[in-house]
Amino acid sequence: MASIDTPSPSARSGSGERNILARLWYEKETRGVILQILTVVLLFAFIAYITLNAIANLALLGKTFSFDFLSEPSHYDINQTLIEYTSKSTHFRAGLVGILNTLLVAICGIILATILGFILGVLRLSPNWLVSKMVYCFVEFTRNVPVLLHILLIHGFVVHMLPKPRAAQEWANLADLVFFTNRGVFAPMPLLGDRFSWVATAFLVAVVGSFIFARWAKKHQAATGQHLPVVLINLGAIAALPALAYLLAGSPVGWDIPALKGFNFRGGFVIRPEFLALWLALSLYTSAFIAEIVRAGIEAVSKGQWEASSALGVSRGRTLSLIIIPQAMRVIVPPLTSQYLNLTKNSSLAIAIGYMDIVATVGGITLMQTGKEMETMIIVILFYLGVSLFISAIMNWYNNRIKLVER
């Protein structure tokens, strides 16, 4: 950039030779190289310095740097486990349970937040003044309050406002199957029989068939102009085929219905209050941001698209789904990715209400028990970096797919 610093050779010869170092410094390319070498050397010196400090400190405290503790028994219980785990399992397994819990709440949260966010974003643009203003109030209130406060508020609500199991038996239930209590939501758990594989196969067949049918219908429409009710047919097939298989197999699913035993419900499927609070809070908080992103995306599609579509006689719903949303998606996807990342990172706040995610297991109890600050924090940080890179990669791939193809 600084081309003026480099006088031409002829000008230089008149003013006398500068020494070789100065000449190198005033040459743009060599200066770039020198600067980079300096930067890298400084960086490595810094890393070496803190590493030496760390080694000295660890030696002073009589600690070693190793990941051996991962294979030792953990000696602590985790209240929600997706895989088999007892207090005799290893720290590694505890970490795995934590990772699965993080992923569970992140994936559930992303799904719910996306659905809520899209609904809210579309309602925000509704011609209905009342609904639009209500959504506006909700969005502004939700996103201007710290997410930690949301989590604590909803957790407080679940724990203090929902009835105790005994009272829930009386009034907080759906058809005596689902019970809302302050110890969690209890729902019937399906017990899969031997022939359940029939239903699963039928479902898979229906889904694959739907994809093939949708592609064929698209080609058919391109060739003949005939439009088939693809969505209706596919939904019908996906519902009907498994149902048929279910009947043919002779109802292979039993239900384990929760029942009140003593002070709590036993059996069935339980959503713990910590998970419920974290899930709802993260979803609500993120949905407010997604709603704004969706609104901005839809508004970014020019009004002429709406008008052209309505001039062609396309209905409002189909305009939205076939013309506006596909174009809006190009604007929506990049910021949506960062919201997904934020949700995943915010799930680390689980520790505030005792949901056992990776930060609470490895970064919390394991750290306290083994005193391996360095190793545990490295595991946690690497996990989050991995998840971040993975989500960015997927969304980049998707973004490339829907990108405007220019000639």
Partner 1 sequence: MSDATISQSYEPGTHPDLPPPLLERGLIFWVRKNLLSSWYNVTLTILGVWFLWTIVPPLYDWMFADAVVNAEDRTECQSLGDGACWAFIHERFKIFIYGFYPEPERWRAILAFGLMFVALGPLLFDNFPYRGKAMLFSLAYPFIAAWLLLGGLGLTPVGTDQFGGMLLNVIVGVTGIAFSLPIGIVLALGRASELPAVRIICVTFIEFIRGVPLITLLFVASTMLSYFLPPGTSFDLLMRVLIMVTLFASGYMAEVVRGGLQAIPRGQFEAADSMGLKYWQSMRRIVLPQALKISIPGIVNTFIGLFKDTTLVIVIGLLDMLGMGRASLADAKWAGLSSEVYISIAVFFFICCFSMSRYSLYLESKLETEHKS
**Residues of span 356-385 touching partner 1 by CB under 8 A:** 359, 363, 367, 373-374, 377, 380-381, 384-385
Residue 68 CB, nearest approach to partner 1 (Å): 19
Q: Figure out which of the listed residues 141, 211, 216, 255 binds partner 1, where binding follows CB under 8 A.
A: 141
User: Is residue 70 at the binding interface for partner 1, with CB under 8 A as the rule?
Assistant: no
Long-range contacts of range 366-369, CB-CB < 8 Å, 24 or more positions apart?
366/69, 366/74, 366/91, 366/94, 366/95, 369/74, 369/75, 369/76
User: Is residue 30 at the binding interface for partner 1, with CB under 8 A as the rule?
Assistant: no
Please report the DSSP string for 111-132 in residue order: HHHHHHHHHHHHHHT-S-HHHH
Terminal Cα distance for the chain, rounded: 34
User: Is residue 251 at the binding interface for partner 1, with CB under 8 A as the rule?
Assistant: no
Q: Figure out which of the listed residues 7, 18, 23, 40 binds partner 1, where binding follows CB under 8 A.
A: 40
Q: How far is CA 77 from CA 80, 82, 93, 239, 356, in A?
A: 9, 13, 12, 40, 10
For residues 184 and 357, which CB has a smaller minimum distance to partner 1 in the complex?
Answer: 357
Residue 305 tokens read as 């698209």
* Residue 397 C-beta-side C-alpha neighbours within 13 Å: 5
Q: Figure out which of the listed residues 7, 73, 156, 326 binds partner 1, where binding follows CB under 8 A.
A: 156
Q: Figure out which of the listed residues 88, 160, 401, 407 binds partner 1, where binding follows CB under 8 A.
A: 160
Distance from the Cα of residue 141 to its chain's centroid: 22
Residue 251 CB, nearest approach to partner 1 (Å): 38
User: Is residue 393 at the binding interface for partner 1, with CB under 8 A as the rule?
Assistant: no
According to DSSP, residue 4 is labeled G
Enumerate the β-bridge partners of residue 212: none
* Binding window for partner 1 (CB under 8 A); candidates: 71-79, 154-162, 229-237, 260-268: 154-162
Enumerate the β-bridge partners of residue 362: none
For the chain, the 3-state helix, strand and coil shares in percent, each to the nearest 5, are 70, 5, 20
* Binding window for partner 1 (CB under 8 A); candidates: 3-11, 209-217, 248-256, 295-303: 3-11
User: Is residue 86 at the binding interface for partner 1, with CB under 8 A as the rule?
Assistant: no
Alpha carbon distance 68, 75 (integer Å): 16
**Residues 326 and 401 sit within 8 Å (Cβ to Cβ):** no
Q: Figure out which of the listed residues 287, 319, 346, 366 binds partner 1, where binding follows CB under 8 A.
A: 346
Q: Figure out which of the listed residues 7, 22, 48, 53 binds partner 1, where binding follows CB under 8 A.
A: 53
For residues 147 and 241, which CB has a smaller minimum distance to partner 1 in the complex?
Answer: 147
User: Is residue 349 at the binding interface for partner 1, with CB under 8 A as the rule?
Assistant: yes
Q: Figure out which of the listed residues 348, 395, 398, 399 binds partner 1, where binding follows CB under 8 A.
A: 348
User: Is residue 45 at the binding interface for partner 1, with CB under 8 A as the rule?
Assistant: no
Show the CA angle centred on residue 191, arms to residues 189 and 194, nearest 5°.
160
Q: Figure out which of the listed residues 24, 148, 260, 331 binds partner 1, where binding follows CB under 8 A.
A: 148
Residue 111 tokens read as 């799904």
User: Is residue 54 at the binding interface for partner 1, with CB under 8 A as the rule?
Assistant: yes
Q: Figure out which of the listed residues 352, 354, 395, 398 binds partner 1, where binding follows CB under 8 A.
A: 352
Helix (H) or strand (E) holding 190: strand 189-192
Q: How many helices (H) and strands (E) does the chain have?
A: 16, 8
For residues 132 and 264, which CB has a smaller minimum distance to partner 1 in the complex?
Answer: 132
User: Is residue 48 at the binding interface for partner 1, with CB under 8 A as the rule?
Assistant: no
Contacts to partner 1 by CB under 8 A? 1-5, 32, 35-37, 39-40, 43, 50, 53-54, 56-58, 60, 123, 126-131, 134, 140-141, 144-149, 152-153, 156-157, 160, 341, 345-346, 348-349, 351-352, 359, 363, 367, 373-374, 377, 380-381, 384-385, 388-389
